[in-house]
Amino acid sequence: MKPKTIFILAAILSGAFAWPQARTADETKIVVMNPRGIQPEIRKIPMAPRPSTLDGKTVYIVDTKYPNTKPFVEELHAALKAKYPKTTWILRDKIAGYMDDDPELWKEIKEKGACAIVLLGH
């Protein structure tokens, strides 16, 4: 066998052995780090006990004042008054924009109301 032929055969053979090695390299498992941050604990809040009826009770309807939703809020107020006349339905606007808190209103509802409906967005 000529040296050139031997060289070609050797190259083919080495390639043949190298090929499975290349394939197994892709199968190598690696360990990577978790990119996520730390989520806070969630403390479960027990829901407020429900009254058995709303007759004789006061329920606040709180409008969070999302832009251009007033017609729905007013229609809801009217419909609840008509369907449940023994309940006092009070419609109130929350202060400022729809993303602002209103602790004074929440205090008033707790003192004077039995329940609340809070609405609406979009």
Partner 1 sequence: MGVPTVPMITQRFKELVTTISYKKGIPNMRITYTPHPITDRPAELCRKYIAGNDPLTGKPMLEEIYEGLTKPLSAEDSRAGFLKREPRPRLLPPDTPEKLQEYFHEQGFTDGNPVILPTEEKVAQMLKATSRKPDEWVGQMRPSPPHEAWYYTVEMVAVNAVMAGAKPEYFPIILALASKGVTSLFSSTSSFARMMVVNGPVVKEIGMNTGIGALGPFNRANSTIGRCWTLISRNLGGSGKPGETYLGSQGNPLNYGNLCFPETEEGLPPGWNPLHVQKGFKKSDSVVSIFSGWSINDIAWYSPLPQHEVIRGWLEHFFSFGTSQATLILDPIVAADLASNGFATKEAFARWLAENTGTPGWLYWSQHPKEMELAQKGVEPYAGWLKQGKGAVVPVSRYNRKGYPTRNQAFMASKDTNEPTTSIEIVVTGGGTNTFWSGGDFGYVGSASVDQWR
For residues 110, 112, 118, 119, the Cα torsion angle rounded to the nearest 10 degrees is: -150
Q: How far is the CB of 18 from partner 1 (least distance, A)?
A: 20
Q: How far is the CB of 10 from partner 1 (least distance, A)?
A: 32
Give long-range contacts, CB 8 A cutoff, 24+ apart: 11-20. Answer: none
Q: How far is the CB of 25 from partner 1 (least distance, A)?
A: 10
Query: Quick one: 16 or 30, whose CB is closer to partner 1?
Result: 30
Where do contacts with partner 1 occur on this chain (CB under 8 A)? 26-54, 59, 66-69, 71-72, 74-76, 79-80, 83-84, 97, 99-100, 106, 109-110, 113-122
**Exposed, middle or buried: residue 35 (CB in 10 Å: 0-12, 13-18, 19+)?**
exposed
